[in-house]
Amino acid sequence: MSDNAHDSHTGPIKTPKQLLWTSFFSFVLPVFLIIGLVFYVTRADKPAAGAVNTELATAQRIQRVGAVELRDANRPLQAGADVYKAQCAACHDAGMVGAPKFGSAGEWAPRIRTGFDSLVQSALKGKGAMGAQGGGAFEDLEIARAVAHMANAGGASFPEPAAPAQAEKPAQ
């Protein structure tokens, strides 16, 4: 055997100093690079993406999932015309997305034939592009009053629903 037989099987690292530098650049340096990137990404002085008011953006991101809205349970019920102006007019005045236009007898006639209860259920649960109105800003009775107002303007003669009678208090 020749003395040069092992020369072709040696690697690029020939001295302990080369081994030390290779170890440093392949293991230690990447760890420091990762730590540096983490510090850069988590710096606090960068604004949130698309936010001008960072405090508001942060508050919106960390807000609770549910919200409680307090309403006056003893407020007087609104008339159908008032509810229509506040809730329904945006779509029904213009006839948007298939909504029957206010006062158009031709568009309201097939709907009126289904009956008042059917119209109220469609309004409360939603139909087509119209979202459910039940449980929103108005009570179901107020939505029913708005339905009667719109249908009557389209040729129906539905009476506006009255508020249920107050339960009588027992005499003491």
Check whether 4 has a pLDDT greater than 70.
no
Of the chain, the end-to-end C-alpha distance in Å amounts to 122
Q: Would you say the pTM of this structure is higher than 0.85?
A: no
The backbone torsions φ and ψ at residue 36, rounded to the nearest 5 degrees and listed phi first, read -65, -40
Fold classified for 80-153? Cytochrome Bc1 Complex; Chain D, domain 2 (1.10.760)
Catalogue the E-assigned strands of 6-124.
none
Between 72 and 62, the higher pLDDT residue: 62
CA distance 136 to 138: 5
How do residues 66-121 score in pLDDT, each as one tens digit? 777 677 777 788 888 888 888 888 888 887 778 888 888 888 888 888 888 888 88
How do residues 129-171 score in pLDDT, each as one tens digit? 787 776 677 888 888 888 888 888 888 888 888 877 654 555 5
Domain ranges of the chain: 13-70, 80-153
Predicted local confidence at residue 31, as pLDDT: 92
